[in-house]
Amino acid sequence: MKRDRMSTYLEAMLLLLPPDAGGRSAPVAPREGSYRPFVAAGDVVTRARLIEGPPRLAPGDEARVMLEVESDAIPAYDGSELHVLEHGQQLVGIVTVLRVCRSTNIV
């Protein structure tokens, strides 16, 4: 039996930590849809994908973005903060949720 997955869309502010704070050393391109970090809220960790934002977001910068989160298990609500993780558990950014836009089933 195939189980449907949920996908949640979040409008948020993303702060990428600079390298001297343990963050990324290279910028990301949110509009390309290829940046797929993990996001965490407490012990719940799931994959996310940036799907909208500025053409380029450099470490140390903050911008309004749209994220697709591949689980409804993340407790995301207006004002909540999520940690952005890469390479296992390396904290590279912080997401502040501005609005939960919708959830959909992924078949």
Q: Summarize pLDDT for 63-98 with one digit per residue, the tens.
A: 999 999 987 777 878 889 999 999 878 999 999 999
User: Model's pTM, two decimal places?
Assistant: 0.86
Three-point CA angle 49, 103, 88, nearest 5°: 35
Q: Summarize pLDDT for 15-58 with one digit per residue, the tens.
A: 999 999 999 999 999 999 899 999 999 889 999 999 999 999 99
Backbone φ and ψ for 77, nearest 5 degrees, come out as -150, 165
pLDDT of residue 17: 97
pLDDT of residue 1: 46
Residue 60 has pLDDT above 50, yes or no: yes
Residue 4 has pLDDT above 70, yes or no: no
- At residue 70, the 3 state secondary structure works out as coil
Q: Which residues contact 24 (CB under 8 A, 6 or more apart)?
A: 16, 17, 59, 86, 92, 93
Domains of the chain, first to last: 5-106 (2.40.30.10)
Per DSSP (E only), the strands in 1-107 are: 5-16, 38-41, 44-52, 62-69, 81-86, 90-106
